[in-house]
Amino acid sequence: MDTITTKMSREEIFDLMKKFITEVIGEEFVEEMDISPESSFTKDLEMDSIEIVSFSEKIKAHFGEQIDFTGWLSAMDLDQLINLNLGMIISYIEECQS
Binding site for other proteins (CB under 8 A): 25, 29, 42-43, 46, 48-50, 52-54, 56-57, 70-71, 73-74, 76, 78-79, 81-82
- All residues at 6 or more sequence positions from 25 whose CB lies less than 8 Å from its CB, including other chains: 45, 46, 47, 51
Q: How far is the CB of 4 from other proteins (least distance, A)?
A: 20
Identity of the residue, 17 or 25, whose beta carbon is nearer to other proteins in the bound complex: 25
Whole-angstrom Cα distance, residue 60 to residue 35? 21
Q: How far is the CB of 71 from other proteins (least distance, A)?
A: 6
Contact 75, 85 (CB under 8 A): no
CA distance to 24, 31, 32, 44, per residue, from 60 (Å): 14, 25, 27, 23
Q: How far is the CB of 42 from other proteins (least distance, A)?
A: 6
Whole-angstrom Cα distance, residue 41 to residue 33? 12
Identity of the residue, 81 or 88, whose beta carbon is nearer to other proteins in the bound complex: 81
Identity of the residue, 6 or 49, whose beta carbon is nearer to other proteins in the bound complex: 49
Q: How far is the CB of 6 from other proteins (least distance, A)?
A: 26
